[in-house]
Structure 1
Amino acid sequence: MTPAPARLGTRRSTMATTQSQAVADAITERTGVPVELMLITSFGDVTKAHLTQLGGTGVFVNALRDELLGGGIEFAVHSLKDLPTSPAEGLTLVAITERDDPRDALCARDGLKFADLPAGARVGTGSPRRVAQLAALRPDLDYVPIRGNAETRLGKIASGDVDAVVLAHAGLARVGRLDDVTEVFEPEQMLPAPGQGALAVECRTADAAGDLAYLAVVDHAETRAEVTAERIVLAELEAGCAAPVGAFAECRDGRLRLRAAVVAPDGGQAVRREGAVRIGDFRDAPEAAVHLGRELAREMIAQGADRIVAGAASAGRDD
């Protein structure tokens, strides 16, 4: 007898449903449990305000969390970079999937690279983090805020509204638009958002060790260690997911290396730090990742990173 489908909550966008379906398929393949997608509209999907005006944190996830707590769905899939770093009462991140490419990608007219864009070219992005780091590289470009799904943003190039847009490589891959990429930014150029490229599976805490314990089959220990370190930096800086904070951790050769940056909105001031810790066993990795993230964040705060974050938040409220 086939079990009843588990109810997975997802936002309605093409990207959200595509990535949620991929997680659903992986769960079914590994456990035999069928999964049904439940489409939910979040406030972030319908508002026309920019993320800097909204504060960014939680605008894409609160509706899903409300459905979880109300019993309308059994679990939800989020883009991890959209999740607030503070824990949600009654909910648990039961799995973090293996991360896709975490880098940012440029999509520009005429196949142009970032260095080839003419002075004054309009580059569209809704991310203060991207604007700050790009402005540090090319202060001569005009960075303009844009909203909408990947297809809408890419359409602004064809219409001539902008000369280029910057989007997450992983998201472009999920919606089949990698042919539009003209350059991929290495972490040395631009650090991604904490958690970028990873998906989070969230359920009620009461179910995580019981009826829904099987969701842990899609948890990826290496990715969990990496994104834990990145998100701890964000949490220690008391910054939301729309803050100009970049962080990138990677496990390699038994070590967890973490790089982080806080950059002023105009690119003129920055605090950058990096560190590493040895990991002997991935079962101990989350604890080591938390320690590494906290130490790095404290070093950055000592250099004024918290003041840059506060200044950026104040500027966003003034817009």
Structure 2
Amino acid sequence: MTDVFLNRFADTPLRIGTRTSTLAKIQANHVADMITKFAPGIPIEIVPTQVSADLWPGDLAEIGGKGAFSKEIDSALTSGRIDIAVHCVKDVPGDVPLAEGTAFGAYLERDDVHDIVVTRDGVALSDLPAGSLIGTSSVRRRAQLSIHRPDLRTERIRGNVDTRLTKLDEDGKYAALILARTSLSRLGILDRHHEILPLEFHTTGEDVSMVPPVGAGVIGIQARQSDAPVMRLLDELNHVPTARHVLAERTMLHMLRGHCNSPIAGHACTTADGKMSLFGMVFNRDGSAFVRSHAWGEHTDPATLGARVAADLLHQGARNLITATRK
């Protein structure tokens, strides 16, 4: 297989498409390092692409939802300007198909899925005074925060992670940010004080919990299905347990037909006895109404598990919650 791959790129580098942010380029270089270990000597070129979502300061729904994170990269992939594309799976929409003729050939082993609270002075979220302003662009985070701390205010904050942290430190507007812990880890700034929010959902009156989004902590690598050598390479890089967890989560998401303004959470994992667990939730905008489902299944059939959880959520009224968030 290595010989076939080397022959494919004997006269041209393997071109890796990615967004232009520091974090995105770190992730692309991580993929490049993995490929180099598998096929030493292969020429690799990182191709950063400016995407619509990174330039837009407003509501993503106004420019096509989460698809704005990838449409320019999709175009580069389908036209042959790049050979693979590196994505954070949580940013890949569940209500629209991938670009025609492409597929995810590999999911890398999942990183930390926790959300964290970052403040300037290390104050815990529970100690922030009523009326404090929290910066987050995630409707999922806003809904869950409102369940436990309805006295806090939230405001959309766009931009890359490092840009958001600069805003927190320098303009004094925000009391705290809610971010993905894996983002700080990949940027090498986990030494910054932060509070880790628990994953397990619980009710009002307890500490804030934060069920993660579908695809949290996972890097996905997309390629043209017709490019057999590249697809075979990606199969070598694929982390099978993570791929199964992502399939369960994204099957649920696809059946729910959520959009970028739908507060949806979902997390799959393998239990100690080898079963697969999937927990899913759908919220309204302020978290005052929600439905939740938790089921277990065989790890060899993640799609069925995802469908079961989605069906249960829909039976409980998830469609009405999702439809309401379109307004």
Aligned mates of 1:125, 1:161 — CA distance in 2: 13
1:30 correspondence with 2:38: yes
Q: What is the distance in 2 between the residues matched to 1:192 and 1:181? A: 20
How far has the Cα of 1:224 moved from its partner? Answer: 0.7
Q: 2:106 and 2:161 mapped to 1: Cα distance? A: 26
Q: Residue 295 in 1 paired to residue 308 in 2?
A: yes
1:166 to 150, 153, 178: 178
Runs (5+) with no aligned partner, structure 2: 1-5, 201-208
Shift of 1:47: 1.8
Residue 116 (structure 1) shift: 1.3
Counterpart of 1:39, as a letter, is: P
Q: Alpha-carbon deviation of 1:169?
A: 1.0
Q: Which residue of 1 aligns with 2:262?
A: 243
Name the CA distance, whole Å, in 1 between partners of 2:78 and 2:61. 27
Residue 311 (str. 1) matches residue 319 (str. 2)? no
Displacement of 1:134: 0.8
| C-alpha contact 1:108 1:182 (8 A) present in aligned 2 | yes
After TM superposition, list the pairs within 5 Å mapping 1:86-101 onto structure 2. Answer: 86-101=97-112
Residue 7 of structure 1 aligns with which residue?
Answer: 15
The 1:218–1:11 alpha-carbon spacing in structure 2 relative to 1, beyond 3 Å, is same
Instruction: In structure 1, list runs of 5 or more residues that go unmatched.
Output: 280-284, 315-319
Does the alignment pair 1:108 with 2:114? no
Q: Which position in structure 2 is the counterpart of 1:65?
A: 74
Q: 2:241 aligns with which of 210, 219, 222?
A: 222
Count of aligned positions: 306
Structure 2 distance, partners of 1:228, 1:5, is 31
Q: Does 1:141 align with 2:161?
A: no
Q: Give distance in 2, aligned partners of 1:66 and 1:87.
A: 11
Which residue identity lines up with residue 112 of structure 1 in the other structure? V
Give aligned-pair identity as a percent.
36
1:48 CA displacement: 2.0
CA RMSD of aligned residues (A): 1.6
For 2:309, the aligned partner's letter is L
Cα shift at 1:205:
0.9
Distance in 2, matches of 1:10 and 1:236, equals: 28
Which residue does the alignment assign to 2:141?
130
Query: Post-superposition shift, 1:39?
Result: 1.1
Residue of structure 1 aligned with 2:250, choices 227, 231, 235: 231
TM, length-normalised to structure 2: 0.89
| Partner SS for 1:111 | coil
Superposed, 1:164-203 pairs within 5 Å as: 164-188=176-200, 189-203=209-223
- Among 233, 256, 270, which residue is 2:290 paired with? 270
* SS of equivalent to 1:88: coil
For 1:255, the equivalent position in structure 2 comes to 275
